[in-house]
Amino acid sequence: MSKKVVLSGYYGFDNFGDDAILSVLCDKLKDFGADITVLSANPSKTAEEYGVCAVKNFDIPKLCKTIYSSDILISGGGSLLQDVTSLKSLIYYSFVIFAALLFKKDVAIFAQGIGPLNKKISQFIVKNLLKRAKYVSVRDEKSQKLLENWGIAAELVNDPVFSVSISEIPKNFAVGIQLRDFSTMSDEFLNSLADFVPEKFPNRKIELFVFQKALDEAVCKKFEGIVKAKNPNTETEIIYYNSRQEIFKRIAQLDYMLAMRFHAVIAAIKAGVKTAAIDYDIKVQKLANEAAIPLISLCSDCNNYSEIFDSLKSLNPARLSDFANSKQFDRSGLEKLFSK
């Protein structure tokens, strides 16, 4: 008899990274014969796109009824259990876990980044919930160390997006740039990047990738305007995220990618695209170091663009793909949930 699984995460918000994680998770769970229901901000779209059941994430009575009739709750991936975005967000995802524990369901924490947890109440909530989880996996060593200090055993796993299959297709000789809003993003950085890209990549189209409209669109449009003001003849296009398959295809066609978001970097190196990461978060910095790719600072005066370009140009696409393929997601921990 198939087990009923409820998935809780940042799903249905048209965010490329979280949607890619959901696709991998659904594929793996279907291999186990799971009956899947996703808590989603857009249930109809999620149900159609992933071939699963879906319920509205903030319809609390229906959410509780769904969890009550399930066997397993899987929370994640992503960074759900943190209070930097908002305490409200942490309370919501914690409530979902609490409901599953209250109804005596198996709870799995899936490939999450835990924290930051700046408030004492946040630490108390997360610590006591995760101590009762049946299986915990995290995507970074910092999260694993935090849980270890709390006496919670957590498996360190690679990001699920490393397991996405991307077909090799002919190149379109474009340069991809993926930007997002961030506290240290500045006009100075955008101007320096706009000087660098057309100079180092002459006569190439620039494709700007919007992975999450609310955070990416404004800064991509601003950068496009700066490029056009400096180099009116440069061809540009803003690529909006409508489907995972289309985004993976557009990335695979690139010759080069300069990417800020973690999953943009993963998708590019997975496709064997010569990639430089833009350093806005420790997870991006760590990935760049592991993959041995150039790292661009958001501090515009800190970059030696000639050196960065030389390093980028010398990258071996096959080596990048091999690195990404070596980081396949290990599903054995999830598999144990279905073995009893």
CB 82 within 8 A of CB 107: no
139-152 pLDDT, tens per residue? 889 999 999 999 99
Same domain, 145 and 183: no
Same domain, 131 and 35: yes
Residue 334 lies in a domain: no
User: Which strand (E) or helix (H) includes residue 317?
Assistant: helix 317-325
CATH code for the domain in which residue 113 is found: 3.40.50.2000
Its domain, for residue 130, covers 4-157
Whether residue 1 has pLDDT greater than 70: no
Same domain, 152 and 184: no
Contacts of 179 (CB under 8 A, 6+ apart): 185, 208, 216, 219, 220, 223, 260, 278
Residue 42 lies in a domain: yes
126-139 pLDDT, tens per residue? 999 999 999 999 98
Three-state SS for 217-240 is HHHHHHHHHHHHHHCCCCCEEEEE
Percent of the chain at pLDDT > 70 equals 99
Strand partners for 155: 137
**Total count of domains within the chain:** 2
What global pTM score does this model have?
Answer: 0.91
